[in-house]
Structure 1
């Protein structure tokens, strides 16, 4: 099981993990149990791929706008979103869901015009039905970024692209084409902002035997999928598409809910990627 690697900060140690997370014995055992039944069969894997949009649309039908909280942390983590306040910049959000990223930005009064897309028609409709939806500031549309030319949906190249917990929902074999798709939407000097699930994130240990689609790639009970990134592979993925890496790394956050007795470590990969000037 290749994801069980030694902590690179301590070559003499037999500890499993990386520089932000060392696994305990129960967590190592959990990953071993996930492998005990092997991978889900090829027929089911292909079915999940074909029905990816359908499964996310069902997710939004079931949960509506209640599942994800509004993301009020984004301008703290990505100050590039703030700008000078005078120039109107264009932002493309891929995988916009129901608007938990874009509406907090507009509520802060940022001078942005936002393109937003999702491959769930129901999610797109939820964005349009939001009380703060404004056609002069938002253009939202349905798009499958694994298949469609995203740049053809835009009137011009954009200044910033956000991909927040989006790439992990895509089959790893399609990620290269998706990142190239993003590249062609961005103006030279523009930036892609990424945060996504990282290797050894708490959620990775929730999967049981019979849920594994591939290395670090899992299916949830509702048919949606999740991939857990290594920092290095995220770097290579974008560099091979022509991006320059401004910053990239694992980030650790604690999820605390005293009422439910939850105190767990989340691990994400966070990156800022620049399209070089020509």
Structure 2
């Protein structure tokens, strides 16, 4: 199951200008589909029934809780690449020993949280997840300390954040492989709620699946929920972003775009000599100085 790529075995592949030109004719993605891939997607137009889609939405929390019950803390690797990919986590300090307050929205079992706390002693982290079971795993981790982090269960589409975090108090929000799991109709609510706790002039760091990522091409017929939106066998869902869609989504909620670009990788399974193309969208959006939250 390709739910996320956290492997350090990945090779960065830069797109050439010729590829960029072709990309504008290929659905604004970071890669061009092969004829076989294009045919597969063109044929896959039957959507999951409305009844099942409503059931999936209603049971979204239950499905993620079951995911963590099955996989415990073993599915995702620790994200030691976060500070390498997002220099802002270190560079946004005004002075060297300034204490930063971050929010990891959708923390899972702490694969990003704990490496960050280990790397940076002047960091306080709020962390939340939709799954109560995931939150309990975080609290049971030997590295968990209430002096350095506050972890809580939260539905990001509701006003739960303000019950746990003061308005306009967070220096950096990480939104990494989280928004894709939320129904596209509710994504704006997540960004609106994050906006309320973020300090003016501070940013959201985003990374998630891009259009035509290998994970998208792996879905079998009968898994499609809507445009670029699919359901896995375990009931969890995944959306695949374009630059344009994400940019419009953030800007509609008052953010300013700083960076919004595709990142191409190649996942290599050396044992089986298998190479698959990965496409992610990596972005940075700012809450303007001249705006404050309306809570």
Q: TM-score, normalised by structure 1?
A: 0.92
Q: What is the CA–CA distance in structure 2 between the aligned matches of 1:263 and 1:276, rounded to whole Å? A: 41
Aligned twin of 1:26: 36
Deviations 1:16-57 (A, max 9, x none): 45463111011112212322xx10100000000000000000
2:48, 2:225 within 8 Å by CA — same for their partners in 1?
A: yes
Structure 2's unaligned 5+ residue stretches are 1-18, 291-295
How many residue pairs match? The answer is 268
2:28, 2:242 within 8 Å by CA — same for their partners in 1?
A: no
**Distance apart, 1:110 and its partner CA:** 4.4
**Distance apart, 1:10 and its partner CA:** 3.7
Deviations 1:141-160 (A, max 9, x none): 00011123412311352111
Q: 1:259 to 1:85 in 2, by over 3 A?
A: farther
Aligned twin of 1:203: 215
Deviation >2 Å, runs of 4+ = 15-20
Aligned twin of 1:56: 64
Matched, 1:276 2:284: no
Alignment of 1:21-170 (within 5 A): 21-35=31-45, 38-82=46-90, 83=93, 84-156=95-167, 157-170=169-182
- SS of match in other structure, 1:125: helix
**Distance apart, 1:249 and its partner CA:** 0.7
- SS of match in other structure, 1:184: helix
Q: What is the CA–CA distance in structure 2 between the aligned matches of 1:162 and 1:260, rounded to whole Å? A: 34
Q: Which is worse superposed, 225-234 or 258-267?
A: 258-267
Q: What is the CA–CA distance in structure 1 between the aligned matches of 2:69 and 2:29, rounded to whole Å? A: 39
What is the root-mean-square deviation in Å for CA atoms of aligned residues? 1.7
Q: TM-score, normalised by structure 2?
A: 0.87
